Structure 1
Amino acid sequence: MTTSPRSVYRKGVDVAVGLVGSEAVADAWDAPSALVGMTVGELAAHLARSVLQVEWYLDGPLTPDAPLVTAVAYYGDLTGTAEPTSELNTGVRERSAQTAAHGRDALVAAVVAASDRLRERLPHEPADRRLTVGHRGHTLLLDEYLRTRCVELAVHTEDLALSVGSDVRAPASTTAVAVDVLVGAARHRHGDVEVLHALSRRERATTDALRVL
């Protein structure tokens, strides 16, 4: 079984794009989603950005000589993840609303086209290909960034599916990468002892170490 980040990401993208373009999402576009403060359309846009942003950042400016950030550190260093009004979560909602504002048809057309282009492009990008994430300023290897997108695909495919009563979920391989990254982020943020307690001795835990996002 192929487990490269690029192939696992592609599998997750195929499922997510199908869900974003589904009639169930179209019918509920303006309804509240499973995430507080976001409509179904805005959540669909947020999920779609896991495809759109890869192309944007591949074609965008690269910060020269920037230290490389891993997928684990990308999430492990986040702050304000549990606070709805944090700068992080406010920014997510604002960017999602901006993307959704173009309308359902425009979003579906854009994400399908980007997915098709990435299908052809990703296999030909070199192993040392870097990109800089515009809104955070981090520079990652492409494959590490795709591991972060597997997290987004796994988490938000389920969020969107639950919002419209669908049983669609990300592929098992995409979810496995997401779990690997998030457990690594928990270790990065809280240390191995706290993660050990969260997994085996909750009565000794001093924090909710496994809650990363």
Structure 2
Amino acid sequence: MTKEIRKAYLLGAERAVHLLATEEVARRWDKESVLPGMTVGGLAGHLARSVLQVEWFLDGKTAGTEPVSPVRYYARLVGTSLPGSALNVGVRARSEETAAVGPAAVAEQARAAWQRLAQRLDQEPADRRVAILHRPGEEMLLDGYLQTRCVELAVHLDDLVLSVGAHCQTPEATLAVAVDVLVAAARDRHGDQAVLHALARRERDTDQALRVL
């Protein structure tokens, strides 16, 4: 499982690196993206962080706390669909901070980090933990964190492609990991009956049970 997760992550990260370096992204950097209140540059910065943060978190200090699962990482989130929520305000702030150096620098930083990770992840043990630096005191197993990055890569590759009119698709392996995590998070948050309605009886899906982000 470790090899499959890491391969899926690196494939998605490679696709993101290629998209970030395109002229379409650079040309529309200061324009509005498909996400309300977020520029293309901010969205690109957010996508880039799914590569950059893995390296940052690997270099962080861990304390041996109980690791958070990728399912709980998403199932407990609140305010994901509200642009003004504390969660989304924080995401936009971190994304714009990353984007402030401009399109060429963001693309190069992401490319360099991806190249290093392609070597580094092959050397990390299956029980490797990482500290979640924007959630002080929390840790995840590396492979669990990479599963969350597959979610972010899959979702925001699609967002950025639609924002700039590029031709790019998320790798199937990355998509498969993302869907597995999000469906499991929906089950955790709403229960199986609600998820069944969302999948098979949409007229009874009063909770929008498959909406996780």
After the TM superposition, which residues 20-35 of structure 1 pair with which residues of structure 2 at under 5 Å, given as runs? 20-35=20-35
> Is contact 1:3-1:173 (8 Å) kept?
no
Once residues 202 and 10 of structure 1 are traced to their aligned partners in structure 2, the CA distance between those partners, rounded to angstroms, is: 35
The equivalent of 2:52 in structure 1 is 52
* Cα-to-partner distance string for 1:45-99 (whole Å, 9 max, x where unaligned): 100000000000000121x131111111100111111111111000000000101
User: Aligned to 2:68, what secondary structure does the other structure show?
Assistant: coil
Output the CA distance in 1 between the equivalents of 2:205 and 2:30. 41
Q: Distance in 2 between matches of 1:205 and 1:121?
A: 43
> Cα distance, 1:201 vs. partner?
1.6
Q: Separation in 1 of the partners of 2:84 and 2:56?
A: 27
Distance in 2, matches of 1:204 and 1:37, equals 32
CA distance, structure 1, for counterparts of residue 80 and residue 135 of structure 2: 15
Percent identical pairs in the alignment equals 58
SS at match of 1:44: helix
Gaps in structure 2 of 5+ consecutive residues: none
The answer to whether the Cα contact below 8 Å between 1:13 and 1:115 also exists between their aligned partners in 2 is yes
What residue is the counterpart of 2:6 in the other structure? 6
Q: Which ranges in structure 1 are unaligned for 5 or more consecutive residues?
A: none
Q: TM-score, normalised by structure 2?
A: 0.96
For residue 135 of structure 1, what is the aligned residue in structure 2? 134
Within 5 Å, give how 1:74-89 maps onto structure 2: 74-89=73-88
SS at match of 1:183: helix
When structure 1 is superposed on structure 2, of 3-12 and 172-181 the one drifting more is 3-12
- Counterparts of residues 102-181 of structure 1 (less than 5 Å): 102-137=101-136, 138-181=138-181
SS at 1:60 equivalent: coil
Q: Per the alignment, in what secondary structure is the counterpart of residue 211 of structure 1?
A: coil
Deviations 1:101-144 (A, max 9, x none): 11112211211111111011000000000001111233111001
Q: How many residues align?
A: 211
Shift of 1:3: 6.5
CA distance in 1, matches of 2:64, 2:52: 25
CA contact (8 A) 1:61 1:132 kept: yes
Look up the equivalent residue of 1:128 and give its one-letter code. Answer: D
Deviates more, 1:101-110 or 1:21-30: 101-110
Partner of 2:89: 90
State the Cα distance separating 1:205 from its structure 2 match: 2.7
User: Could you tell me which amino acid in structure 2 is paired with residue 91 of structure 1?
Assistant: G
